[in-house]
Structure 1
Amino acid sequence: MVEKAQGVRVTSALRAALDVARFEGWIRGFVALESWFRMHPELDVEAAKAMAMDCLETMGRVKDIAEARRAISLLSGQCESPYEALCIALLAHAKMGHSIQQQVWVIPSVRVDVLIDGWLVLEIDGAVKYDGETYGSDTRRVIVEERRREVRLQNAGYTVFRVTSTELFHQPQKFLADLRATWVSGRERGLQQVVRQA
């Protein structure tokens, strides 16, 4: 799909996201597609997927279309940042866990980024949390509140695994290896789904 912006022909954001999947692989394409979807709150997931598939069909026979289809199939609209989208794509690629849920309320007033198999909480920490501006100038307060929240999760029976956006982007294999080790260790200890209190 080609559009005009200030008199110049440009590719639509949706077409660009699908091209990212085709040329850079479905993981990066999924991140781009989730970002496109977040720009369209008027669409539900099924409508967004249909729109993406329609756009794909207008391309005709193009190289690596399967990569774009894979990115479309994962579209959820629940990723609140590009790093959450990257994390979900990496988990799907690694076939990690039997159940992966996003943005889940697990105990009163506590929502987690990702919940794996009902007991492993995955929190993605972006640098903005500690920049002294986004969440206020008192970064110490942010860290203390974050720790209290983590203790509440642990006391409720959850295992908490934290990853930074930098680790996700620059060390995805290390992130997956460390997460898998935590997941395997928990399964060996018999950890299973925690009864949610939210």
Structure 2
Amino acid sequence: MVSVTKTLNARGGVARRRELLSDGVGAKQLAAAVHLGRILRVRRGWYALPNLNPDLIKAVRVGGRLACVSAARHYGWAVGEDVGLHICVAANASRLHSPHNPAERMSPDGSPGITLHWEKKKSVRTTARWVTSRRETVLQLASCQSPELAVAAFDSFMHLDPVRSAELPDWLAELPRYILDQFESCSALCESFLESIGRIRLAREGLHGEHQVKITGVGRVDLLVNGWLVIEWDGLEHHDNGAAHDEDCHRDAVLASLGYRTLRFTYAMVMHEWYLVIAAIRAVLAGGRPARP
């Protein structure tokens, strides 16, 4: 007997009823698998593995694919918090369903927490059937998100996947000039969302530095300004435990002993208190380089 779960897995975790039947899965076998909780009936005629990404299941339930920031997160690119769920639907889609209840219809304008992207033409789906391609995702990010959030995602893409991201300039060239003019150059040297945001915002203030600089006895620092001011962008993913805090304090002490000054900024400070971040940086730079011990 054909395994329902193996068949679904081979199709990327989601499949239509007719696809599963054509693969040799019996109708009674399919119903039994749903009853036992081995698979989910996402919507009428659609089935998925229960351990699938919940956002992807919602996208299929609506009648589309993960898109924009949601697709970027699926690919592992850095994106901000609380961006909602972005779903790409066909240009002629007319029967969209609620992401929470397949029995309810959803407005073409979306619903709270859901942003719809409408395909301008039929897309070539050469990779995952339920996620927009990397090219589509890049174009959606550029058109939908703020320039700094989009560039942060592109930075991450370039750092994580230097081979595929080599096509990024060609993809961006497809955008209208008024969108392209909003972007600053991407940098694969930035390794985190927060670091990319910090770089972009500092550049707007006329401040530039060297990224990921290696300092003997310390290791790499996120940003070095004027050869002596070290700026570290402390995202929650790396600095939310005691051991990391102890290591940061040790690094700062070593840097001070070498004649460097260190400033650390958290995600919340960068995203919600930028005025304080830039004020602190300017104040330290105005004081000049500390005397070396």
Matched with 1:53 is: 169
Match of 1:163 among 253, 265, 271: 265
Aligned partner of 2:275 in structure 1 is 173
Alpha-carbon distance in structure 1 between the residues aligned to 2:219 and 2:265: 18
Higher mean displacement: 106-115 or 16-25: 16-25
Q: CA RMSD in A?
A: 2.7
Counterpart pick for 1:107 among 201, 208, 216: 216
1:172 CA displacement: 2.0
- Post-superposition CA distance 1:69-96 (Å, at most 9, x none): x33x2x2211111111111111111111
The answer to which of 121-130 and 158-167 deviates more is 121-130
Q: Pairwise mapping of residues 1-198 of structure 1 onto structure 2 (< 5 A)?
A: 2-4=123-125, 6-7=128-129, 11-42=132-163, 48=166, 51-59=167-175, 61=176, 63-67=178-182, 70-71=183-184, 73=185, 75-97=186-208, 100-132=209-241, 139=242, 141-186=243-288, 191=289
Residues in 2 aligned to 1:3 and 1:168: alpha-carbon distance in whole angstroms: 38
Distance in 2, matches of 1:57 and 1:129, equals 35
How far off its partner does 1:33 sit? Answer: 0.9
Whether contact under 8 Å (2:138, 2:172) holds in the other structure is no
Output the TM-score relative to the length of structure 2.
Answer: 0.51
1:122-171 deviations in Å (ceiling 9; x for gaps):
01112233444xxxxxx1x4322221211110110101011012211222
Q: How many residues align?
A: 169
Query: Would the aligned equivalents of 2:198 and 2:270 in 1 still touch at CA under 8 Å?
Result: yes
Return the letter of the residue paired with 2:150. G
* Distance in 2, Cα, partners of 1:65 & 1:129: 33
Structure 1 residue 174: Cα displacement: 2.2
**Structure 2, unpaired ranges of 5+:** 1-120
Q: Residue 136 of structure 1 aligns with which residue?
A: none
Bigger radius of gyration: 2
More deviation, 23-32/81-90: 23-32
Aligned mates of 2:142, 2:194 — CA distance in 1: 16
Quick one: distance in 1 between partners of 2:141 and 2:275?
21
Identity in percent: 27
**What is the CA distance between 1:11 and its match in structure 2?**
4.1
Residue aligned with 1:105, SS:
strand
Residues in 2 aligned to 1:11 and 1:106: alpha-carbon distance in whole angstroms:
41
Q: Write the distance in 2 (CA, Å) between the matches of 1:53 and 1:130.
A: 33
Distance 1:24 1:127 in 2: 22
CA contact (8 A) 2:217 2:254 kept: no
Aligned CA distance change for structure 1 residues 41 and 65 (closer, same or farther; 3 Å): closer
Q: Partners of 1:148 and 1:183 in 2: how far apart?
A: 23
